[in-house]
Chain A
């Protein structure tokens, strides 16, 4: 994994100002990011599911006038691993050059965490164990003896409850003392069988000489004996030499392998022996340090889990939750949009009269008010509220631990489509932002299934596209307004979402029968315990984050887009404006697919940010006649109807919103994640072809009747 190694190398240059670098490692979903945020004061995204962090994150904290750099590493179950995010974790832990590795463990399943602890103890010198979620242990019937644990592992152990911000000062103190007074050399944490130890004692001295302290000689020796190719090539990349070709190493490796062979070990049986030695060491330590009893909380969790996954209730509850979220989003958005529009209208008038008073030229007033201001106000007043409400609600479900249950319910569907069940998780991330969903696909181990998940991610509508859907639905598909209207809007939107999930499955199945032929392979999914979300904090934080994000995009993308459209609408060639030349050129194509040139043009110009599609459409329709202030839904509907919109047009726009090219950020991310132009182009074409085909079909049927 050269990518992981190079990112680790670039890390070193980042850290020159700080004195010490500390890596935060551990199994997935043990609270590494929460500890990271607690120590650094940064806001790395947290959530209750495995695989949320796919890239190391850096932050700093200060303790007694000393600056420490902290690296939040993706979770891994083992250093001998399968998926890309785990490989990048392994590369950082083994080759990142951190001064100290803090291994975070979950107090409630310590035994499994100990496997990784023992593996890291083999690879690194300076290690500290942090047992997190210690507050949950008693209610789950777990009793830990941390002193026994510390003396068994021969490293310092700290207990903390990071979600409740408890134990963080103690952790800082322990980090400082581990760094300032390094622990004496430890005996090996895992002892293997006599022949293996004999082989190691032959190989280790030769390696010690070559490695000169850059890697643990014992750990490197085991990896060489095991013959794990990808890991050995990572080691060689890191060292900048080929270990097996060093004369002293190749000679001793030969004789070490002979010792193993004469004792009946081949590669496979050696690997099994290594793994089972680690696990039996882990369970012996666990037996000494942990007592576990059945608890009433486990029973309650199990009941909830059964309810959320039972055939009769699982899927209906999932749909109901979605519908409730949409309902709250729409109700809340209407409320806020109204006030925001009033404010923007007032400010716009004030701005216009101010500019007139200053005797600004006519074109400047036009560009500023009709161009920039109108698109800006649309994006903030109409698009922002639903996004700022939906996102925190969704984060609540994420924090509760519901997303893995969705993946559990949908796995069989994804398996039949030849894809990985974890694609349900990346799909859910796509509801927030498709670019984030594409990056999240690193949790999928099989390269084939990962490409499927990446290419089909934008089949689910991201946050920026939701408001287009809600606007279309409330204008054209719902008769009355009010509470009844909102409930039916929420239900219809849920229907469209189910449709988009079905389309994701269909597209995945299509890919695994054509371009990415293959059967779905292994899938293992951790179902973390449900945790009470920290409601206030999540609501405020993701609400504010989302607001800042959208406002930032509004300024960076929507405002220039507004200016561009205004210029196109006002620059005339041969008596026709540029905009009308473009839209009439697109018109036949648009009409064929049940839309028109303006709509198609708006989607093309909306490439940098989907939020701008509707405002661009309005500007194009109203260009020349600035009298229509299409800020309210009713006025907008009038405007659209006057430009020949029908019920069919609205349906086609809805379908096309769900399925067209991804926004430019997502396209760039896909290129980065796949490293392939071919898959980037396919990710643009596939949803577009799907969407246009459906729209064409709908408008053809509509023409018949």
Chain B
């Protein structure tokens, strides 16, 4: 839990668990509306040619975020067991 990293730094294909969303409250809230809430499992699926945006699978849907948005989301690596899918 002590190894929090930004979602934007996670390589494609590695599932992670959302720890918290930081930033201006409206933006953060919108990201939470979209499903990036603490405890949710997020997997980066693929990136656009320029490296941004990146598509993430989260809570059953696929969402593309720009780097500036995924910078706001702090995550820690999945432990595998005990996390919700």
Residues of A that sit less than 8 Å from B by CB? 77-78, 80-82, 106, 108-112, 115, 142, 268, 271-272, 275-276, 279-280, 283, 287, 292, 302, 305-306, 309-311, 314-315, 404, 408-409, 411-412, 415, 421, 521-529
Contacts and interface: CB of A to CB of B under 8 A. Distances in A.
B3 interface: no
B25 A268 contact: yes
A82 to B, nearest CB: 6
Contacts of B53: 408, 411-412, 421, 523, 525
Name the residue in B32, B52, B85 with the highest tally of chain A Cβ atoms < 10 Å from its Cβ. B32
B59 A314 contact: no
A136 to B, nearest CB: 11
B80 interface: no
A491 to B, nearest CB: 22
B52 to A, nearest CB: 6
B55 A305 contact: yes
Nearest to A306: B46
A253 B59 CA distance: 37
A492 to B, nearest CB: 25
B64 A411 contact: yes
Contacts of B51: 412
A412 B60 contact: no
Contact of A283 (B39, B46, B48, B62): B39
Given A524-B31, A526-B63, A411 B48 contact: yes
Given A78-B33, A112-B60, A142-B60, A522 B85 contact: no
B69 A523 contact: yes
A598 B39 CA distance: 67
Name the residue in A305, A306, A408 with the highest tally of chain B Cβ atoms < 10 Å from its Cβ. A408
Contacts of B58: 112
A523 B26 CA distance: 13
A526 B26 contact: no
Interface in B32-76: 32-35, 37-40, 45-53, 55, 58-66, 68-69
Given A314-B49, A415-B52, A522 B66 contact: yes
A524 B63 contact: yes
13 contacts: A82-B26, A106-B60, A111-B60, A271-B29, A302-B45, A305-B62, A408-B55, A408-B64, A412-B49, A412-B51, A521-B68, A522-B27, A527-B62
Given A78-B29, A305-B46, 12 more contacts: A77-B30, A271-B29, A276-B38, A305-B45, A314-B48, A409-B48, A412-B51, A415-B52, A522-B27, A526-B62, A527-B55, A529-B62
B81 interface: no
Contacts of B45: 302, 305-306
Contacts of B34: 77, 112, 524, 526
A411 B66 contact: yes
B34 to A, nearest CB: 6
Nearest to B52: A412
B49 A82 contact: no
Contacts of B27: 522
Given A292-B85, A412-B52, A82 B30 contact: yes
B55 to A, nearest CB: 6
A112 B48 contact: no
Say whether chain A's binding surface is mostly helix, strand, loop, or mixed.
helix
Nearest to A267: B25
Contacts of A527: 55, 62-64
Contacts of A311: 49
Nearest to A314: B49
A280 B50 CA distance: 35
Given A305-B45, A408-B48, A522-B68, A80 B62 contact: no
A77 B37 CA distance: 14
A276 B38 CA distance: 8
Name the residue in B31, B35, B59, B68 with the highest tally of chain A Cβ atoms < 10 Å from its Cβ. B59
Interface in B10-40: 25-27, 29-35, 37-40
Contacts of A108: 60-61
Nearest to B47: A309
A529 B60 CA distance: 10
A302 B85 CA distance: 18
A526 B62 CA distance: 6
Nearest to A404: B64
Contact of B66 (A109, A110, A310, A415): A415
A283 B41 CA distance: 12
Name the residue in A78, A268, A522 with the highest tally of chain B Cβ atoms < 10 Å from its Cβ. A522
Contacts of A82: 26, 30
A298 to B, nearest CB: 8
Given A275-B32, A408-B55, A524 B64 contact: yes
A528 B60 CA distance: 10
A305 B61 CA distance: 13
B20 to A, nearest CB: 9
A414 B27 CA distance: 19
5 interchain residue pairs of minimum CB distance: A109-B60, A412-B50, A311-B49, A78-B33, A77-B33
A110 B60 contact: yes
A525 B64 contact: yes
A358 B38 CA distance: 83
A310 B29 CA distance: 30
Contacts of A415: 52, 66
A409 B55 CA distance: 11
A408 B31 CA distance: 17
Nearest to A114: B59
A395 to B, nearest CB: 22
